[in-house]
Amino acid sequence: MSYALTDRHSRTHRSLRISIVDKCDLRCTYCMPEDQHFLKREELMTREEIATIARLFVERYGVNKIRLTGGEPLVRPDAADIVRDMAALPVKLGLTTNALTLHKHLDALIDAGLKSINISLDTFDAERFKTIARRDGIDTVHANILLALQRGLRVKLNMVVMRGVNDDEILRFVELTRDHLVHVRFIEFMPFAGNHWGRERVYTYSEMLGHIGSVYSFEKLNDDPHSTAKAYRVPTWPGTFAVISTVTEPFCGDCDRMRLTAEGKMRNCLFAREETDLLSALRRGEDIAPLIEANVLAKHAMLGGLPQFKPEKEEEVLHDLSARPMVSIGG
């Protein structure tokens, strides 16, 4: 039997993000605290456990979209096997990666059934990349983006826009959509544990659109019903760009996402303060369905129950977000 989960706002939850590992081969300042500790291997969900939990979400709760993420999913040796398991399910499958080692995995990922990939890229400048990611690697990442396009994958590029860090590169990213069939997403810098967030560093989505519009005319595209991004394109250019305005204009009313951390904890919101430990229950041989249902029912109407990111609430919000850095939630 298949039935949809609905929360008290009568919203169906069809999209599941699964973090398959919390480690990463980059250490982006906006994502990973300097003193980050990682899970031990036995604490991570195994390939089989990921498949069991994902299948339950799909078969019982109608999930039709799965995105694999991390940490960096490609640091996990069995990443392509996990992709294969997910691709066998009736879902739209995606993977989010920093693309640092994509060239080594691309054949296996495509063979496993991957058709769509999100790649994080915040700058075209080598020194900046080193400052943001705390590692070298920009040339490899650029080459791997082109490789993914050449191999026919649908490619979205995620840029976290930070004032005074990379906001002067927005137009260059827009121009990528003239030269390539690529979908650029400009993401407002969000606060998470240990990422030195400050309101003054958020380059807002209205500033982004104003800046782009001062040089290029663009048109609005239709957004998917539960999309978190507002999409646009410069007419006649093959690619598109979108803005994700979590901080200045949250889109919680349309959000249909559920999340699973690498240690099998379910989160009903990116900003959730409560988690449900599905993996321990699964390992004890218990039925995890009631846990999933209770987790969804507990979903807050907005921002995981945080007060909005208003200046007067800032201290409260930052305190409440101190539990998990983005690297161990998965984006």
Which residues contact ligand SF4 (rule: CB under 6 A)?
24, 26-28, 31-32, 70-72, 98, 120, 327
CA 42 to chain centre: 24
Contact residue for ligand SAM among 22, 61, 69, 306 (CB under 6 A)? 69
- Candidate ranges 47-55, 92-100, 129-137, 274-282; the one touching ligand SAM (CB under 6 A): 92-100
Minimum CB separation from ligand SAM for residue 207, in Å?
16
Q: Which does 189 bind (CB under 5 to 8 A by kind): ligand SAM, ligand SF4, none?
A: ligand SAM
User: Any contact of residue 282 with ligand SAM (CB under 6 A)?
Assistant: no
Q: Which does 192 bind (CB under 5 to 8 A by kind): ligand SAM, ligand SF4, none?
A: ligand SAM
Sheet bearing 219-220, strands edge to edge:
219-220, 230-233, 240-244, 183-188, 154-161, 116-120, 92-97, 65-69, 15-19, 257-260, 265-267, 276-277
Query: With respect to ligand SF4, which residue has the nearer C-beta, 32 or 114?
Result: 32
Minimum CB separation from ligand SF4 for residue 165, in Å?
14
Q: Which does 187 bind (CB under 5 to 8 A by kind): ligand SAM, ligand SF4, none?
A: ligand SAM
Minimum CB separation from ligand SF4 for residue 20, in Å?
12
The single-letter DSSP state of residue 264 is: S
Which residues between 219 and 278 bind ligand SAM (CB under 6 A)? none
- Candidate ranges 90-98, 138-146, 175-183, 275-283; the one touching ligand SAM (CB under 6 A): 90-98
Decide: 296 and 278 in contact? Cβ < 8 Å. no
Q: Which of 42, 327, 89 is nearest to 195 (CA)?
A: 327
Contact residue for ligand SAM among 91, 160, 234, 296 (CB under 6 A)? 160
Query: With respect to ligand SF4, which residue has the nearer C-beta, 98 or 295?
Result: 98
The 3-state DSSP class for residue 295 equals helix
Q: How far apart are CA 252 and CA 152, in angstroms?
A: 32
Minimum CB separation from ligand SF4 for residue 217, in Å?
32
The structure tokens 């300097």 sit at: 34
The structure tokens 């048109």 sit at: 219
User: Any contact of residue 22 with ligand SAM (CB under 6 A)?
Assistant: no
Minimum CB separation from ligand SAM for residue 186, in Å?
10
What residues does 16 pair with on adjacent strands? 66, 258
138-150 vs 126-133: helix crossing angle, rounded to 10: 100
102-112 vs 79-87: helix crossing angle, rounded to 10: 30
47-61 vs 289-297: helix crossing angle, rounded to 10: 60
Of all residues in the shown chain, the one whose CB is closest to ligand SAM is: 331
Total residues at interface with ligand SAM (CB under 6 A): 21
